Structure 1
Amino acid sequence: SMDIYNFLITNHGIAMIFFFLMPVLIGGFGNYFLPFFLGLDDLLLPRLNSFSLWLMIPSFFYMELSLYYGCGVGWTMYPPLSILESSGIGVDYLMFSLHLAGVSSLIGSINFISTIMSRISFTTSIIIWAYLFTSVLLLLSLPVLAAGITMLLFDRNFGTAFFEPTGGGDPLLFQHLFWFFGHPEVYVLILPGFGIVSHICMMLSNNDSSFGYYGLICAMASIVCLGSVVWAHHMFMVGLDSLTALFFSSVTMIIGIPTGIKVFSWLYMLNSCGTRVSDPVLWWIVGFIFLFVIGGVTGVALSSSALDILFHDTWFVVAHFHYVLSLGSYSSVIIMLVWWWPFVIGYSLN
């Protein structure tokens, strides 16, 4: 039925981001390999690390509970639909689940930053820098999401009117809060992939360090800084004035420059004499670059406030988002498994 479809679509987005990509790509891989790359026995705060893991269990339980009771407000949870009592108790369970997952991610980020800052230098792997920038982005953006969904919970259960127009609230405020988290979250999910691909490209080319090492670090730092101030390009259709739309459109396009630096650095490393065409991980990386470039090009098209009027709420936006996340981040998970699987279990793939 239509309701069940909406329930599944809502939980699909939340589950893929908070209960697959973040625990596997950031929490799982980061926990296993950060101490290895930094020459440590364990992360700096092991008890916090354990607490972060255990928080994911009740968080996942409440997310499944929201699916059972029904939560069909979309993964962005826009008001006024999400503040209607008729939308069901499943919405409250989903928001509580996000709170727990957010606290888990914040604790993990603090642990990662503490561990990395204790041993980082300009000779460490690009992966370490990628996880540092990822953790900083999480610390900056997750509290804003927590504030937004807390205000939603208060609107739903305690009679406040933060987002209720009839009470003097503004539904657009939630869009600003959500996308201030939502856009950096895209980079949170792709930056570890950038680090993984950069490191493996270096290994495939038989070099001691990545080509353009400092350029790659500066590119990631630029992506973090610029990616934190472009949230309103998701909101061109809400009636932004022309100067505001021009700012967000221009800065979004500028992000293509550091991204291009990374892509060309990868291609240069893959083109070196040490690369073997018979290596299967090479083709996974080529696929990652190809799919990510398609996602990036469609993103540049969407960054134009004029073109966004045509593309808004179409499958073009869905395709762009999934090329970057579903095909980009997920490819980096597979690349990670293929490359480090022998190291993890002690047996090589045949």
Structure 2
Amino acid sequence: QGNNKATSKLNYVITIHGVTMIFFFLMTELIGGFGNYLLPILLGLADLNLPRLNALSAWLILPASLCLSLSMFMGSGTGWTFYPPLSGGDYSSGHGADFMMFSLHLAGVSSILSSLNFICTIYSGMDSLTVFRQSIIVWAYLFTSILLIISLPVLAAGITMLLFDRNFGSTFFDPLGGGDPVLFQHLFWFFGHPEVYVLILPAFGIISHICLSFSNNDSLSGYLGLV
């Protein structure tokens, strides 16, 4: 029994660490935070084009963080990938997993709203004469936003189906009812593989801009290829 409790606590720690670092640190700080600060400066604008949408995306992080905190106290050892059947009702019967999935929904909506705002701002700040003279950071955030808008709804669909399995008796991922747990893995990694580029592209853009500034060059070597 003691070993089972220790294993459960380890699963809780691994789950909360993965979700917090990816969805509530890297995505909110590296993409949302730095994007809000850098894009208006680099595009010569006073602010992002949709400030109210920007405020809504920021405020959504608060209830998302609250749901994440509640899941910490209730316990959720599903792992940050939420693979069924471990994340199903039979193996994770508490409400901790539900609150964690709600937190991902809210964080995902926040990221989608930020991405829409970034795309609108970049589109309005660029013109045909300066499009290939913009900082590589601008291009990095443009492609990052496009990837998020494409991939996040698929993750939201998978989590919603999992919530229905847990709370409403559906069998999307239950083999006993004709479902397939591997389906969730396909849905999750449709988001997970682009997420690698989502997290690394802004960092590439920032590092490239720093190297350009410290080298005192007018243009980045291999600019078009890097874009």
Pairing 1:36–2:46 present: no
Once residues 26 and 67 of structure 2 are traced to their aligned partners in structure 1, the CA distance between those partners, rounded to angstroms, is 18
Pairing 1:17–2:27 present: no
Pairing 1:70–2:75 present: yes
Instruction: Show the counterpart of 2:3.
Output: none
1:144 paired residue among 132, 141, 154: 154
Pairing 1:157–2:167 present: yes
Pairing 1:199–2:209 present: yes
1:205 positional shift: 1.4
Instruction: Show the counterpart of 2:188.
Output: 178
Q: How does 1:1-350 map to 2 (within 5 A)?
A: 1-87=6-92, 88-120=94-126, 121-217=131-227
Once residues 75 and 25 of structure 1 are traced to their aligned partners in structure 2, the CA distance between those partners, rounded to angstroms, is 19
1:106 positional shift: 0.2
AA aligned opposite 1:154: F
1:4 positional shift: 1.1
Runs of 4+ in 1 over 6 A off after TM superposition: none
Q: State the SS of the aligned residue for 1:51.
A: helix
Cα pair 2:85 2:91 within 8 Å, conserved: no
Structure 2: gaps (5+ residues): 1-5
Once residues 51 and 137 of structure 2 are traced to their aligned partners in structure 1, the CA distance between those partners, rounded to angstroms, is 21
AA aligned opposite 2:99: Y
1:131 positional shift: 0.3
AA aligned opposite 1:105: S
1:33 positional shift: 1.1
Once residues 86 and 191 of structure 1 are traced to their aligned partners in structure 2, the CA distance between those partners, rounded to angstroms, is 37
Q: TM-score, structure 2 length as denominator?
A: 0.94
Q: State the SS of the aligned residue for 2:99.
A: helix
Q: How many residues align?
A: 217
Once residues 128 and 152 of structure 1 are traced to their aligned partners in structure 2, the CA distance between those partners, rounded to angstroms, is 36
Q: Greater relative contact order: 1 or 2 (C-alpha under 8 angstroms, separation 6 or more)? A: 2
Structure 1: gaps (5+ residues): 218-350
1:86 positional shift: 4.4
Once residues 101 and 108 of structure 1 are traced to their aligned partners in structure 2, the CA distance between those partners, rounded to angstroms, is 11
1:84 positional shift: 2.2
Once residues 62 and 44 of structure 2 are traced to their aligned partners in structure 1, the CA distance between those partners, rounded to angstroms, is 30
Once residues 182 and 90 of structure 2 are traced to their aligned partners in structure 1, the CA distance between those partners, rounded to angstroms, is 20
Identity percentage of aligned residues: 67
Cα RMSD for the two superposed structures: 0.8
Using a 3 Å threshold, how does the CA distance of structure 1 residues 86 and 173 change in structure 2: closer, same or farther? closer
Once residues 119 and 98 of structure 1 are traced to their aligned partners in structure 2, the CA distance between those partners, rounded to angstroms, is 31
Q: TM-score, structure 1 length as denominator?
A: 0.61
Once residues 43 and 148 of structure 2 are traced to their aligned partners in structure 1, the CA distance between those partners, rounded to angstroms, is 21
Cα pair 2:23 2:107 within 8 Å, conserved: yes
1:186 positional shift: 1.1
